[in-house]
Chains A and B, each alone.
Chain A
């Protein structure tokens, strides 16, 4: 079992340049500590225009800073939006290879297509085409990285023969992932030999079903890249504290705030009915209504969430491990609901008490 940290870079209102700066600096400090503590990967999303929820519009720059300030931890695009109106595929290939070079071959490369109208509409992209765009990107990017000269006549872009430079340090190329939000995308990942980067907090039963089907199908895949990545990761929230009640309360405050910000996104399906967007794409469903605690019991935690004392978190991760999950990526904060010192102490306690169990 591997552990990663996952950044949305959410910023509380009122927005100020200093406030955004502090969020970015706090995240970098968390990444440096995660590197020291033995976490495997720092992931950063790509989002645009999502006020409060995510100000991570240039994750390759954030991850370059992470790479410069760390030595071991891998840097993960979680994920690049593979839609030509938002990112031209040549630029995606160049930036990713460059980041792999300057990080010393530490890049994990996630792919996505965006789920909000705020982003897709903002760039004037065609919602009906994003799935096809993504499919074309994941097939051509590995070729740009591995072929000395590359020429292409395609649907969403074409180019005459050129040398796409630089080439990645990792050979044949960095591991490829796809973010999985909507049910069924894990099958797209499996069919193309891509890692399954979970960004929705599914329950145990649903994750087990998806993981089982993913592992069955990827045996038969036609790889989009030169190498198959058959790993499954899930997204979780982390707040670890010696006192289970304190851990639960603070963790739930963070998770609840993130859920609220998420619910306020304008998903594509709401604005633009389309076969291409079959779900609203919720990234983090709110805690179930039945989890409302009685004052005597303390907070009742949603299934599988890593919020509480070390023993509770070990049990939750053991369960994820038992259903085939290879990596758990943690959100550590949401719009600075938790003070930075509490986030850092939670990371240290997790490394001290939980990591040795795996």
Chain B
């Protein structure tokens, strides 16, 4: 089995800080989600993951953006980039970087679920022939991609994987497992078009997207759940997993 080779201490630069694991689940209604799956260079397979996680073959990343109209923090849009991976037997995405346009949402998502999100403009525009995502930070564009020629899918055809967010926690530096639940009402799949990606801006210097595979646009409720597990980043999940919160 290939395992990640990145130094967790280096990966932790800019990681979120969580004071406790006792977060209540949060249901967000009417969320518009764009997710784009893209293969990356084979040589990148292990370099961007901590030793706890295994790369997929071929290695891949996903960009995911949410436009949320109602939340305890008001409306917000966020986008994040994850490396697709396995934690033990499970499919996961390792969060490398993200942006959000609402400081209160940034704080809430960081403290509650370990999302490290920098301030940025996240512009997700869904249309009938194209959905476009543009992300800008510090005056520079860090992502520009689109879903083109959408075709309707059934809600049950969609697939989302849980996130592993590296954060400073009461247990130390840990991968926080966020098993977001999607209740999809409408879904479309289209051809992904990647126009620009600043890997360094997403804390992935050197990462090369090579082959965009599919873009998915979904509308429906998203629930950020109470936390159940965290995992040490330096050892495999079989030995490094820890129950937290309401896990039994």
Which residues on A are within 8 Å of B, measured CB to CB? 13, 49-52, 117-118, 121, 259-261, 263-266, 269-275, 278, 280, 286
Contact = CB atoms under 8 A, between A and B. Distances in A.
B1 A263 contact: no
B39 A121 contact: yes
A-B complex: 10 closest residue pairs judged by Cβ atoms? A263-B89, A272-B214, A266-B56, A271-B213, A271-B37, A269-B159, A273-B157, A275-B157, A264-B86, A273-B158
B153 interface: yes
Contacts of A51: 57
Contacts of A269: 157, 159
A273 B1 contact: no
B159 to A, nearest CB: 5
A275 B153 contact: yes
A274 B188 CA distance: 10
Contact of B157 (A52, A118, A263, A278): A278
Interface in B25-45: 37, 39
A260 B154 contact: no
A346 B115 CA distance: 51
B214 A273 contact: yes
Contacts of B84: 266, 270
Contacts, number: 67
B60 A271 contact: yes
Contacts of B134: none
A205 B189 CA distance: 36
Counting chain A CB atoms within 10 Å of each CB, which of B90, B156, B159 scores highest?
B159
Contacts of B56: 264, 266
A110 B91 CA distance: 29
A269 B214 CA distance: 11
Contact of A273 (B2, B54, B90, B189): B189
A275 B39 CA distance: 21
B161 interface: yes
Nearest to A272: B214
Contacts of A52: 1
Interface residues of B, number: 28
A266 B90 CA distance: 11
B52 interface: no
B58 interface: yes
B224 interface: no
A51 B88 CA distance: 17
A37 B2 CA distance: 38
A74 to B, nearest CB: 33
Contact of A260 (B1, B39, B156, B216): B1
A118 B58 contact: yes
Contacts of B189: 272-274
A117 B214 CA distance: 11
Contact of B161 (A49, A263, A270, A286): A270
Contacts of B1: 13, 52, 260-261, 264
30 contacts: A51-B57, A117-B213, A118-B57, A121-B58, A259-B89, A260-B1, A261-B1, A263-B88, A264-B1, A264-B56, A265-B57, A266-B57, A266-B58, A266-B60, A266-B84, A269-B159, A270-B84, A270-B159, A270-B161, A271-B37, A271-B60, A273-B153, A273-B157, A273-B158, A273-B159, A274-B157, A275-B154, A278-B157, A280-B159, A286-B89
